[in-house]
A and B are shown apart, each in its own frame.
Chain A
Amino acid sequence: MSTESSISLTLKQPSKRTFLDFIKQQPLGFIGLVLIVIMFTCAIFAPQVAPYNPEDIDFEASPALGGGEPSWEHLLGGDAFGRDILSRLIYGARTALSIGFFSAMLGCTLGAIIGTTSAYFGGKVDLIIQRLIDLMLSFPIVVLAIVVIAIFPKTVVAGIDVNVIIAIAIPFTPKVARVIRAQALTLVTLPYIDAAKAAGFSSKRIIFRHLIPNVSAPFLIMLTAFIGQAILLEASLSYLGLGVVEPTPSWGLMLSGVNSDYYRTAPWMIIYPGVAVSIAVFSFNLLGDSLRDWLDPKLKL
């Protein structure tokens, strides 16, 4: 890149960059976005898109009874109970995307509040919060999620597993809090915060109205990346039997309990749910990566 163009880049206001620029500069991110839109559409219109009801049983299509190969009737084959795999995948997208979105949103929001609060108050508050964050970060995500699952009793509200969402959100919170705090630390030194303090605004108002809106770029980047990670985590937890439970269609659940019989006789039962998880996570990662390159290349996640 020539010096001239880099100067013009720094002078350019971010708001002037349009969606078209994003497509041109980040083609991979755009591909991710398209895939995400397709998945959301499928999830929302699942009853219209899916060829069958995900809970309908067709004994002809059960590998346990010797059938179920992918055919024109069942494009991706049938599972052990003779349920249509394609339909279950489409309905499974509802579970994956809703749990993924809500848990990433919860984790990022909590993280943003904790991170900005920590930076705003500084001193002892900051020190204690930082130590707690370090402590939480010393556990692998899956381990932390499973411990939370063990602590929270199973609660389902409107068909959504709240305890699973909390279990997935909590491991992300310290990560977000750390990144947001680092960003907020520079914000706190800016004159407009002093001005807000001088105007007598409450700490709560300054944090929510003046600090949090200014960390929206890292927030958005992390939200996108963590939706992908949350989908992966949901699949892992459900696979282990600790996440959502039957009969909710879930990609991880479709892989769980697939015993060695089906490795040989019905590989489609194993291949397609995993492909679905991979594509979903892949798309969010692509978009998240590109958003970071575009909005804030120096951000370290």
Chain B
Amino acid sequence: MLKYALKRILLMFPTLIAVAVIVFLVLRVVPGDIVELKLTAEGGEVTLEQIEEEKTRLGLNDPMHIQFYKYMTGIPRGDLGISLWTERPVADEISARIGLSFELAILSTILAVLIAFPLGTLSALFRGTGLDYVIRIITIGGIAVPSFWLGMLLIMLVLSFGKLPPLGTVSLFVDPLTNFNQMIWPAISVGYRYTSVVARILRSSILEVLSEDYIRTARAKGLFERVVIVKHGMRNALLPTITVIGLEFAFLLGGLVVTESVFNLNGIGKLFIDSVVRNDLNLLQGLVLTVATSFVFVNLIVDLCYAALDPRIRYQS
């Protein structure tokens, strides 16, 4: 197991380096000029010299290979450059906001797993019945309903009870209850899709497993149906489900980009949109790297879980 884990961790580095290089190359072709945007935003006439001066000051006029060198050598030290807009270090900008998004992601994952497991299992065990149809329609709905719209409906719901959602986030460690009160609504609005995706994969993998020979064997040797389903069925159906939970967790940021705007939460998603609107290349670069890195890490955790659950994987590689 340890050997497998080490090997898997070492394999992460080439991937991360490739991501870093490609992100740099891709984002250098972004048109539009932050400097012009920034200077004109402050009002007044801007001369070409001023723009050039500002660009030189921000290091945008450096030759490509120097910029690339600075960027690549900065990454291992956690230096992602400065935000071209606020001129604060990108790493600080991101770390100031990542906590909120991470909390939201965790909360919606818990929510999704708690709801998806009974839904998916029931749907599979009562296949073809009315219950199955109802659950399937609910879960297909989860993939169809835009999460930001669901968020708006939730805000409307809360408002109709006469309760104003508290503005400005309170830290989890200062006042857990108020924090929960604020986070639960966005968590539901991203979590609906998450729940549906997990429930659907669980349903189809249980169905697939239940048609396997070893299930027939287990039944034939007279095991209780409960034991057959839980020990022989669920355990094997869990593997693809864990992959999907991991994937969706890593992809939650996509949902957060939109949902954070609805609930006016100051997380990574909002920062991401700001960086695009302002053409803040360095910040965008840092954010894309963060997303990719978190995906790689989640993938690592999923693979390790997999290996822990299924000895075949450990020995194969």
Contacts and interface: CB of A to CB of B under 8 A. Distances in A.
Contacts of A151: 26-27, 29-31
A99 to B, nearest CB: 15
Interface in A253-277: 255, 258, 260, 263-264, 267, 270-271, 273-274, 277
Contacts of A195: none
B89 interface: no
Contacts of A228: 144
A276 to B, nearest CB: 10
Contacts of A183: none
A139 interface: yes
Interface string B249-265: 01111110110010000
B284 A240 contact: no
A255 B257 contact: no
Interface stretch (A57-65, A75-83, A203-211, A281-289): A281-289
A143 interface: yes
B273 A277 contact: no
A225 to B, nearest CB: 9
A contact face: mostly helix, strand, loop, or mixed: helix
B148 A143 contact: no
6 contacts: A142-B254, A143-B254, A143-B257, A239-B258, A241-B277, A274-B149
B22 A135 contact: yes
A291 to B, nearest CB: 14
B4 interface: no
A263 B156 contact: yes
Interface of A: 131, 134-135, 138-143, 146-147, 149-151, 153, 228, 232, 235-236, 239-242, 252, 255, 258, 260, 263-264, 267, 270-271, 273-274, 277-279, 281-282, 285-286, 289
Given A258-B152, A270-B156, A285-B144, 17 more contacts: A140-B251, A140-B257, A143-B257, A143-B291, A146-B257, A146-B272, A146-B276, A147-B27, A153-B32, A240-B261, A241-B277, A263-B152, A263-B155, A270-B149, A278-B144, A278-B146, A281-B145
A292 to B, nearest CB: 11
Contact of A150 (B19, B30, B252, B255): B30
Contact of A282 (B144, B153, B155): B144
Given A135-B22, A267-B156, A140 B253 contact: yes
A289 B140 contact: yes
Contacts of A240: 257-258, 261, 273
**Ordered nearest first, which 6 A-B pairs have the shortest CB separation?**
A140-B254, A274-B149, A142-B254, A282-B144, A281-B144, A140-B251
Contact of B272 (A143, A264, A279, A286): A143
Contacts of A271: 153
B184 interface: no
Interface in B231-252: 250-252
B149 A139 contact: no
A242 B284 CA distance: 15
Nearest to B193: A232
Given A274-B153, A278-B149, A285 B143 contact: yes
B18 interface: yes
A172 to B, nearest CB: 13
Contacts of A286: 140
| Residue of A150, A236, A240, A277 with most partner-chain B CB within 10 A | A150
A138 B19 contact: yes
Interface string B110-127: 000000000000000000
Contacts of B27: 147, 150-151
| Residue of A149, A232, A279 with most partner-chain B CB within 10 A | A232
B258 A142 contact: yes
B102 interface: no
A270 B152 CA distance: 7
A149 to B, nearest CB: 7
B159 interface: yes
Nearest to A252: B146
A40 B75 CA distance: 50
Interface string B150-186: 1011011001000000000000000000000000000
A157 to B, nearest CB: 18
A150 B284 CA distance: 10
B292 interface: yes
Given A274-B152, A274-B153, A142 B255 contact: yes
Contacts of A147: 26-27, 276, 284, 288
Contacts of B156: 263, 267, 270
A153 B279 CA distance: 12
B292 A255 contact: no
B31 A142 contact: no
Contacts of A141: 251, 254
| Residue of B27, B252, B255, B276 with most partner-chain A CB within 10 A | B276
B272 to A, nearest CB: 7
Given A140-B254, A239-B258, A242-B276, A282 B140 contact: yes
A274 B156 CA distance: 13
A141 B250 CA distance: 11
A144 to B, nearest CB: 9
A277 B140 contact: no
Nearest to A153: B31
Interface string B8-19: 000000010011
Contacts of A270: 149, 152-153, 156
Contact of B146 (A146, A235, A263): A235
B59 interface: no
Given A151-B26, A235-B146, A236-B146, A278 B153 contact: no
